[in-house]
Structure 1
Amino acid sequence: MRHYDLVVLGAGSGNMLLTEEFGHLRTAVVEPDRFGGTCLNRGCIPSKMFVIAADAAEDAREAERLGVHMSVAPVDWKAIRDRVFSRIDPLHASAVDYRRKNGVDVYTEEAHFVAPKVIQVADERITADTFAVAVGSRPVVPDIPGLDTVAYHTSDTIMRIDDLPPSMIVIGGGFIAAEFGHVFSAFGTHMTVVQRGPRLLMTEDEQVSARFTELASRRHRVLLDAEVTSVEPCGDGVAATVVSPRGEQVVEAAMLLVCAGRRPNTDRLRAAVGGLELDEHGHIAADDAYRTSVPGVWALGDAVNHFQLKHMANAETRLVRHNILHPEDVRTLTNRVAPHAVFTHPQIAGVGLTEQDARRHKVDYRASVRDYADTAYGWALEDTTSFVKVLADPAERTILGAHIIGPQAATLIQPLIQAMTMGLTTDQVARDVLYIHPALTEAVEQALLAL
């Protein structure tokens, strides 16, 4: 068996772990797919590059409200796709080459544990003093009768298709479905979204979720409280049987996209064989320092947390790097403020408690909602549907949660994230800070002043 000081399993956020500070150690990276992980190759980065193109198309269509009359010619799908992946695809080979040139062994076969701190990679067994498990996650493929008889896509494959389909069925109503629903609808594909719940984006604040469901339903067909019970081939496409309170119907489309969530890759790693304790969802159990149940084995990213957010994985990578290098000074990730954004149309961002969370957990709160339309910049946008919502503790006067739906939501929420992280009161953030006029940040200011 070959022995290392440190072995990193997974080259998404895991690849970021190895800085020059590890240069004196014998190290290896195991990655059976592409360096950069989901974010670079199949997730955050390519999808947002598609979203930018989709935003451009939608902005042109909506410009009439400003007195600007434009039309959108059929989009050049191949040009859009190739712009994305001509930037992304060469990075894998250069990353592998960089690691090997700098003394890191790279294994490109899939690995699995055969015992605690012992992995099998192809025909070789490897041990290490320290392991960092960052094997990520993959799309869930539900057990739908007939799914194995049709060609379908997940978020792993949909961005690389050769031709833009005239119609598409999307199974799921979460953030991945919302983003791809926006992209393909903007490009001219007739979309049908099948959502099991009563609204889209059910984990968002219910007011945001309801508003987005209303707006999405204007753009494409949305079937709520509905479930696909079977699928079958239909000509060159697919036919899905959908059951809802309104009865059973058959929906046909040229393409099927499955957006049913994601699952950690710990089963492929055989993490339990490696002695790693797992939770009921298959995530590795770890403490606030990201130590697992096996001494010397650390975990980070989608393999350990439920957020599925690259910025969380980045923070975890920095923490685990420090803790491996400085075992005498182990730090913990005490910041539990985990913001997120959905890059759909309109954009959505959230952090902290939702109103339904506060009610469920009997948390005393006050809420303030301010429309973009109440600000000068909202007037300039002719915006009638966007808003900022802030929840605060009436006794401590600190921010419990913030939720925004509308243009630039992911940027507008940042001062509220910082206020929550630093424990600032609503009074401090509302009255002790100057907000530029006329800018959309005035919607944030006005929501805080109302509190």
Structure 2
Amino acid sequence: MEQFDVIIIGSGGGTKIARPAADLGFKVALIEKEAMGGTCLNRGCIPSKMLIHPADQIHHFRHAKNIDIDAGPAPKIRFKELIGRITGTVDDISEGLAPPYEAHPGTELIRGTATFSGNHSVTVNGRELSAERIFIAVGTRPQIPDIPGLAGTPFLTNREALRNTELPKRMIVIGAGYIGCELGHAYSTAGTDVHFIVRSELIRREDREIRAEFRKVFSQNNTLHEGFVAEKVSHDGTVFSVQIRGKDGVEETLEAEALLVATGIVPNTDRLGLENTDIARDAHGFISVDGQLQTAVPGVYAMGDCNGNYFFRHTVNFEGEFLMRVLFEAPSAETINYGAVPHAVFTYPQVAGVGKTEDELMEEGADYVRGFCRYEHTAMGMARQSDHGFVKILIGRADKKILGAHIIGDEASNMIHLLIALMYKEGTLDDLLNMIYIHPALPEAVRDAARDARKQLRMR
């Protein structure tokens, strides 16, 4: 049995622990079975945004006539070259992550699959390692639905879609969450005829007004088959055929050269040998943790997607910094407080949110007011000739605190940070109203939504 102070399984969010702990003098083993950097770097946030950003530019070119620009010949994405650049960049970064760990005297980077052999021991490459503290950061993988005929076909998940060098003429997307919408947007803007099979709603966890606005705009560039489910898949070597059935029993067959499956995620916890431990999981396979992210086994922690709390790189970064502080730097019994966790969907239109949705507040019976401002009613929105987009803020009536904020439209992922900061500082509507906003910058839409909320408060 080889003894370490710290074992980390997974080099995505797990890197927030590995080198910082080693720098403090702890002997650390970092175990990784795939490319360094985890989902975000290799098959998630970074490559997808490198794909989506050019798609956004193409979209703006195509609509340049709205602001009296003659864009000339139709712009085109050099898809093969773009994917090559994305893949090369991501692989270079991933490969560059290993040498610092290999050179650090306090860390050992082990390439292989870790399996628990006991509560505080794991086996990898025939070696058995033990540590007082073990951090599980194994992430998730795409959930593959049990659709007859799907298995064995060359369908795509986000992993393959981000490395696919051939732009298909047609694509079918099964799933209507943020992964499917982001990748579908990128492919459709690049020139693919994209059809979405939407069982319930697009991005259904968003605020109700966001969902409605998103559908209105998104459906202009993508074909939606709403209320349908995929019942059977076949592939003749070139073309996919997907049989779909609507809520009313109507059946259709869609055909396309590519099929993207984006129906959710499952945690990579079923491959860890957790049956050899006392670590508990919920019904979906996510590892159960307490307020310090500790599992049912003292000294063993789960962070990132695999604990099921949140599924963002920014939250696992936050968790890693928290764990370093309360376990290593200044040990304490402090429990994690995520505060208002923000998110963004990088589609066209872009979506961002933080805090409660109006649906949640209504369900809770909360006493609140809704402040609202459309982009087109601001000076910058007028300059951009915006035909969609809005800011929506939800304010508690009694204390004027910001309960939630939701933005759809240009730069939503940037605009939301004004509201994230105020919510973090427990700011109020008065704080929003008392600020000086640059004129005529787009955040004036936030100010005007705040003014609308003040009006609603006065009307009572």
TM surpasses 0.5: yes
Question: Shift in Å at residue 260 of structure 1?
Answer: 0.6
Question: Shift in Å at residue 326 of structure 1?
Answer: 4.1
Out of 345, 349, 353, the residue aligned to residue 348 of structure 2 is 345
Aligned to 1:148: 151
* CA–CA distance in structure 2, aligned partners of residues 65 and 310 of structure 1: 36
Q: Deviations over 1:377-403 (max 9, x none)?
A: 000010021100111111111111110
Given that residues 353 and 400 in structure 1 are in contact (C-alpha distance below 8 angstroms), is that contact kept between their aligned partners in structure 2? yes
Out of 215, 225, 228, the residue aligned to residue 226 of structure 1 is 228
Aligned to 1:126: 129
Aligned to 1:102: 104
* CA–CA distance in structure 1, aligned partners of residues 83 and 307 of structure 2: 32
Aligned to 2:53: 52
Given that residues 322 and 330 in structure 1 are in contact (C-alpha distance below 8 angstroms), is that contact kept between their aligned partners in structure 2? no
Question: Shift in Å at residue 346 of structure 1?
Answer: 1.0
Out of 416, 426, 448, the residue aligned to residue 423 of structure 1 is 426
Q: Secondary structure at the match of 2:301?
A: strand
* CA–CA distance in structure 2, aligned partners of residues 309 and 149 of structure 1: 30
Out of 236, 239, 258, the residue aligned to residue 237 of structure 1 is 239
Given that residues 325 and 331 in structure 2 are in contact (C-alpha distance below 8 angstroms), is that contact kept between their aligned partners in structure 1? no
* CA–CA distance in structure 1, aligned partners of residues 343 and 332 of structure 2: 30
Question: Shift in Å at residue 75 of structure 1?
Answer: 2.1
Q: Which amino acid aligns with 1:13?
A: G
Question: Shift in Å at residue 270 of structure 1?
Answer: 2.7
Q: Deviations over 1:22-46 (max 9, x none)?
A: 2322210011011110000000011
Aligned to 1:83: 85
Aligned to 2:458: none
Aligned to 1:322: 325
Out of 173, 177, 183, the residue aligned to residue 176 of structure 2 is 173
Q: Secondary structure at the match of 1:100?
A: helix
Q: Secondary structure at the match of 2:158?
A: coil
Q: Which amino acid aligns with 2:128?
A: R
Aligned to 1:160: 163
Aligned to 1:8: 8
Aligned to 1:377: 380
What does 1:206-355 align with in structure 2 at a 5 Å threshold? 206-234=208-236, 236-246=238-248, 247-326=250-329, 328-355=331-358
* CA–CA distance in structure 2, aligned partners of residues 327 and 277 of structure 1: 28
Q: Secondary structure at the match of 2:77?
A: coil
Q: Secondary structure at the match of 1:269?
A: coil
Aligned to 1:22: 22
TM-score by length of 1: 0.97
Question: Shift in Å at residue 195 of structure 1?
Answer: 1.0
Q: Deviations over 1:310-333 (max 9, x none)?
A: 111110010111223147324332
Aligned to 1:37: 38
Aligned to 1:435: 437
Question: Shift in Å at residue 19 of structure 1?
Answer: 3.0
* CA–CA distance in structure 2, aligned partners of residues 277 and 50 of structure 1: 38
* CA–CA distance in structure 2, aligned partners of residues 335 and 58 of structure 1: 35
Question: Shift in Å at residue 122 of structure 1?
Answer: 2.5
Given that residues 351 and 403 in structure 1 are in contact (C-alpha distance below 8 angstroms), is that contact kept between their aligned partners in structure 2? yes
Q: Deviations over 1:131-183 (max 9, x none)?
A: 01111111111111001142101011111112111110000000001101110
Q: Which amino acid aligns with 1:62?
A: H
Given that residues 10 and 137 in structure 2 are in contact (C-alpha distance below 8 angstroms), is that contact kept between their aligned partners in structure 1? yes
1:445 and 1:166, CA in 2 relative to 1: closer, same or farther beyond 3 A?
Answer: same
What does 1:58-69 align with in structure 2 at a 5 Å threshold? 58-69=59-70
Q: Which amino acid aligns with 1:55?
A: D
* CA–CA distance in structure 2, aligned partners of residues 207 and 322 of structure 1: 39
Q: Deviations over 1:283-329 (max 9, x none)?
A: 11112221221111122111113421111111001011122314732
Given that residues 335 and 421 in structure 1 are in contact (C-alpha distance below 8 angstroms), is that contact kept between their aligned partners in structure 2? no
Aligned to 2:456: none
Out of 124, 137, 141, the residue aligned to residue 140 of structure 2 is 137
1:33 and 1:366, CA in 2 relative to 1: closer, same or farther beyond 3 A?
Answer: same
Q: Secondary structure at the match of 2:361?
A: helix
Out of 200, 203, 219, the residue aligned to residue 202 of structure 2 is 200
Q: Secondary structure at the match of 1:160?
A: coil
* CA–CA distance in structure 1, aligned partners of residues 451 and 13 of structure 2: 39
Q: Which amino acid aligns with 1:243?
A: R
Higher alpha-carbon deviation: 270-279 or 377-386: 270-279
Question: Shift in Å at residue 417 of structure 1?
Answer: 1.1
Q: Secondary structure at the match of 1:130?
A: strand
Given that residues 118 and 274 in structure 1 are in contact (C-alpha distance below 8 angstroms), is that contact kept between their aligned partners in structure 2? no
Given that residues 11 and 137 in structure 2 are in contact (C-alpha distance below 8 angstroms), is that contact kept between their aligned partners in structure 1? yes
* CA–CA distance in structure 2, aligned partners of residues 76 and 335 of structure 1: 41
Q: Secondary structure at the match of 1:156?
A: helix
* CA–CA distance in structure 2, aligned partners of residues 175 and 45 of structure 1: 15
Given that residues 15 and 35 in structure 1 are in contact (C-alpha distance below 8 angstroms), is that contact kept between their aligned partners in structure 2? no
Identical positions, percent: 33
* CA–CA distance in structure 2, aligned partners of residues 326 and 442 of structure 1: 41
Q: Which amino acid aligns with 1:7?
A: I
1:229 and 1:21, CA in 2 relative to 1: closer, same or farther beyond 3 A?
Answer: closer
* CA–CA distance in structure 2, aligned partners of residues 182 and 20 of structure 1: 38
Q: Secondary structure at the match of 2:55?
A: helix
Aligned to 1:389: 392
Higher alpha-carbon deviation: 110-119 or 396-405: 110-119
* CA–CA distance in structure 2, aligned partners of residues 57 and 51 of structure 1: 10
* CA–CA distance in structure 2, aligned partners of residues 328 and 47 of structure 1: 38
* CA–CA distance in structure 2, aligned partners of residues 35 and 202 of structure 1: 32
Given that residues 61 and 75 in structure 2 are in contact (C-alpha distance below 8 angstroms), is that contact kept between their aligned partners in structure 1? no
Aligned to 2:457: none
* CA–CA distance in structure 2, aligned partners of residues 125 and 352 of structure 1: 44
Aligned to 1:401: 404
Q: Which runs of 5+ in 1 are unaligned?
A: none
Instruction: Work out the number of aligned pairs and report it.
Output: 449
* CA–CA distance in structure 1, aligned partners of residues 419 and 243 of structure 2: 44
